[in-house]
A and B are shown apart, each in its own frame.
Chain A
Amino acid sequence: MLFDQKIKELEEKARLIRRDIISMISKAGSGHPGGSLSATDILTVLYFHKMNIRPTEPNWPDRDRLVLSKGHAAPLLYSCLAEAGYFPTSYLGTLRQIGSSLQGHPDMLSLPGIEMTTGSLGQGLSAAVGMALAARVDKKAYRVYCVMGDGETQEGQIWEAAMAAGHYKTDNLTAVLDHNKLQIDGHIEKIKGLDPVVDKWKAFRWNVISGVNGHDVKALIKAFDEAEKVKGRPSIIIADTIKGKGVSFMENNNEFHGRAPTKEETERALEELK
């Protein structure tokens, strides 16, 4: 089946991107592996299947747009953009180094393909709403995607933006919640709980697609397709994910929210991702 072939390709792409993430952060000596690995399959499906983009023409006005609101997953974004052809993969080795265009958090002026500068949490959804409304003003058919961390939805601005999107019925907007249930200081439910997360988004007039395995490429494609069909409401996919996914000793391990692997850990991680 052609579709099965596509799924295999995407899974393979995700594996390569996970390797990039480990190598980049290891070389940089700092960065955020946990949240990058948890959102890898989501961004892989978007960049290599779902989104209508032209990497060689990054400013194409009709392109779909992705705002990575959880800007600390920058290594993931950089790897996707490089693998998609926005810039050479050789850039990836310069992450976080002085003079590099691969800043610690995404800077839209420094690299092609970055749609919005992010890093201060909770700001991306508003920008995505702005792009979605601009599409309406310009009568353009592009879609806007926004990937958020679950911890960052503790920011009030997320809910201001959620209310705006619900009010303005931005059905050309699909948000994804990378729901890995962990934040820097520990379990979200212990620090400041989000539940009932589905009810919250519903209450803000969103179409909620929940119970999606955020590491199942097929399930993600199905969810994105479903979101696109919904009219009169923005959609959010609650993607259940595992922080550090793909590297056994990083999975569900908070220590790797914002720490680079040691040389030995890097070797182990890359071995697992072979």
Chain B
Amino acid sequence: MSEKKQIATRDAYGKILVELGKEFPNIIVMDADLSVSTKTCGFCKAFPERFFNMGVAEQDMMGVAAGMAATGKTVFVSTFAVFATGRCWDQIRVSIAYPRLNVKIVATHSGITTGEDGVTHQANEDIAIMRAIPNMTVIVPSDAVETEAVIRHCAVTQGPTYVRLSRPKTDVINETGMEFIVGKARQMKEGKDLTIIACGLMVARALDAAQALEKDGISARVINMHTIKPIDREAVRKCAEETGAIVTVEEHNIIGGLGVAVAEVLVEDHPVPVARVGIRDMFAESGKPDELLEKYGLTASEIVKAAKNVLGRKTA
């Protein structure tokens, strides 16, 4: 798939933020000393009076963002996912989510593909802890194109939102001008034997896996579940009814993330065999993003294995 165009979702974020800054004078952006990495530096240069670097102080950044939002601002706050969620979870819960303030937490460097920095900088629990907070919307865009649509959505809607972006360049799998509807899953490929439900950069790998399964005569549907919360309940149930088996795929701990969000719907609405592909409740290590994805089982071939596993458990 190396011939595909590749763009990092954080780059798409930095670019669209500058465009939105021109359109919406009400937008404020904050960062915690990582603006070059999170790409908010572009907004900082374009609109210095509306950019606030809060230094290495994530708890304060969330609180200041809440105070700004309480005056009617749309506030984007960015830092690495591990710091944007774990270091300031209570601040997000009490100062942002409970009062439903209009703060958009756009976190970059999520998952193991943060790479060489190692475990301290790899957020594999962020979806779980953000999802557990009432009033919080959780979105994981699948590529740079979808990221732009998601950030635009954030700029024009009210309420606390967590958006999870990545560090490395990833395949562009969506067409420019695609429509993003929050909470509405997107079918990327039709299939009838099973459904692969993925999010983030793993959607591209799910599509690769579906292609490989085709060669074995297995027809896999691929769903891009960009919104983890509120999850598209209807889509999950429909996939279970129509294909009878589900594989979930995420660059996140298998505890609490996409796989569990999907399983929650299935156990209540339409139980079918499920396999979860994700980080298997362990800390990873330093390494190149692709090496880490390979070592920790986030590859097309692992998805194929999981697909065959659920098919074997399917009742005829």
Contact = CB atoms under 8 A, between A and B. Distances in A.
B54 interface: yes
Contacts of A109: 99-100
Interface string B72-95: 110000000000000000110111
Given A129-B67, A131-B71, A134-B67, A164 B94 contact: no
B191 interface: no
A115 B95 CA distance: 11
Interface stretch (B15-23, B58-66, B137-145, B293-301): B58-66
Contacts of B94: 117-120, 123
B70 A156 contact: no
Contacts of A107: 98-99
B237 to A, nearest CB: 32
B79 to A, nearest CB: 13
B50 interface: yes
Interface in B97-116: 98-100
B52 interface: yes
B49 A127 contact: no
A193 B59 CA distance: 23
A264 interface: no
B245 interface: no
B26 to A, nearest CB: 10
Contacts of A156: 59
Contacts of A116: 66-67, 70, 95, 99
Contact of A123 (B50, B72, B91): B91
Contact of A126 (B66, B69, B73, B98): B66
Contacts of A133: 52, 64, 67-68
Contacts of B132: none
Contacts of B66: 116, 126-127, 130
Where chain A touches its partner, the secondary structure class is helix
B134 interface: no
A117 B99 contact: yes
A126 B67 contact: yes
Contact of B28 (A119, A123, A128, A137): A137
A130 B57 contact: no
A164 B57 contact: yes
Contacts of A126: 59-64, 66-67, 91, 95
Contacts of A168: 52
Interface in B27-63: 28, 49-50, 52, 54-55, 57, 59-63
Given A109-B100, A157-B59, A164-B57, A127 B64 contact: yes
Given A130-B65, A161-B64, A164-B64, A123 B95 contact: yes
Interface string A142-183: 000000000000001100110110011000000000000000
Given A109-B99, A126-B60, A133-B52, A157 B91 contact: yes
Contacts of B100: 109
A98 B104 CA distance: 32
Given A157-B59, A160-B57, A134 B95 contact: no
A109 B99 CA distance: 6
Contacts of B73: 134, 137
A130 B98 contact: no
A65 B91 CA distance: 20
B21 to A, nearest CB: 13
B71 A117 contact: no
A121 B115 CA distance: 36
A156 B52 CA distance: 20
Nearest to A164: B60
Interface in A101-118: 107-109, 115-118
18 contacts: A107-B98, A107-B99, A115-B70, A116-B67, A117-B94, A117-B98, A120-B90, A123-B90, A123-B91, A123-B95, A126-B95, A129-B67, A130-B63, A130-B64, A130-B65, A134-B72, A137-B50, A160-B57
User: Nearest 8 CB-CB pairs, A to B?
Assistant: A130-B67, A126-B63, A160-B60, A127-B67, A160-B57, A130-B64, A134-B71, A117-B99
Interface of B: 28, 49-50, 52, 54-55, 57, 59-73, 90-91, 93-95, 98-100
